[in-house]
Amino acid sequence: MAALGREAGADLKDADVVQVRAGEVPKDIRMATYTHGQPSLSLGDTEFRRPMVIEIIEKKFEYLRKEKTLNIYGTVFFGTAASFSGIMANFIFRHCFKVKHDALKTYASLTTLPFLSTVVTYKLLVTDALYLGNISQENCVLRSSLIGIVCGVLYPCGLAFSKNGRLAVKYHTVPLPPKGRVLLYWLLLCQTEIKAMMIPLVLQTVFGIFNGLQHYARFGSTLEKNVHED
């Protein structure tokens, strides 16, 4: 009897070795491996959750698209204000230097260049920095207002001054300044009319502060909403 028991045990061990070598796993072990730590989802749950996930993703894309559109509108408005500032600066310096030539050329450049410089600079220094999380609200407003002053007023004034000054020298519309005092002479020539540029200076500063506050608020609301949804 003892011999029969040992033979039966040996047969069972041999059978287990054959099953393991053949790569077969007992059914109860396979079930435990599949169900351990994983909730079993039925086909009905999967079909129910799929439309919900798709709807959430579509809502996120729609919200982000609206936020991006609002940001683009604000930047374009900011650049358009710089274009009007360039037109005004060109009109003032053409009047001071009594220039009547190349009107279309100067107005075209004084309209497009301030617009492009404002849009590109705002995107690099404000929009990209916001989405990288590198600036605070105060820094955002400061950068936006400085962009309005530099790209919306100082740059158009300098551009209009140089273009119309060269035209004045070329066509001799005003007396030539003495040597070594060209800049001072032209500044004295335009000192009365140039005071009108204080109007776009104030407007660009206000637009910059307002645009920076609005942009940061929209960015903060978008970030907060995405965190809550996640």
Q: Which amino acid is at 187?
A: L
Q: Is residue 99 part of a domain?
A: yes
Q: What pLDDT does 196 receive?
A: 93
Spatial contact of 119 and 48, defined as CB atoms under 8 Å apart: no
Residue with tokens 């009107």: 103
CA of 113: how far to CAs of 1, 105, 119, 210, in Å?
Answer: 105, 12, 10, 23
- Distance, C-alpha 179 to centroid of its chain: 47
**Each residue's pLDDT tens digit, 138-174:** 999 999 999 999 999 999 999 999 999 899 989 988 8
Q: Is residue 32 part of a domain?
A: no
CA 120/CA 133 separation, integer angstroms? 19
Q: Compute the Cα dihedral for 121, 124, 127, 130 and give only its sign.
A: negative
Q: Is residue 188 part of a domain?
A: yes
Q: Is residue 182 part of a domain?
A: yes
Q: Is residue 75 part of a domain?
A: yes
Spatial contact of 96 and 167, defined as CB atoms under 8 Å apart: no
Q: Is residue 45 part of a domain?
A: no
Q: Is residue 46 part of a domain?
A: no
Total structural domains within the chain: 1
Closest by alpha carbon to 80, among 130, 152, 134, 140? 152
pTM of the model: 0.69
Domain of 211, in residue numbers: 58-221
Q: What pLDDT does 138 receive?
A: 94
Q: Is residue 191 part of a domain?
A: yes
**Each residue's pLDDT tens digit, 44-90:** 445 545 566 555 555 554 544 555 555 788 899 999 999 999 999 99
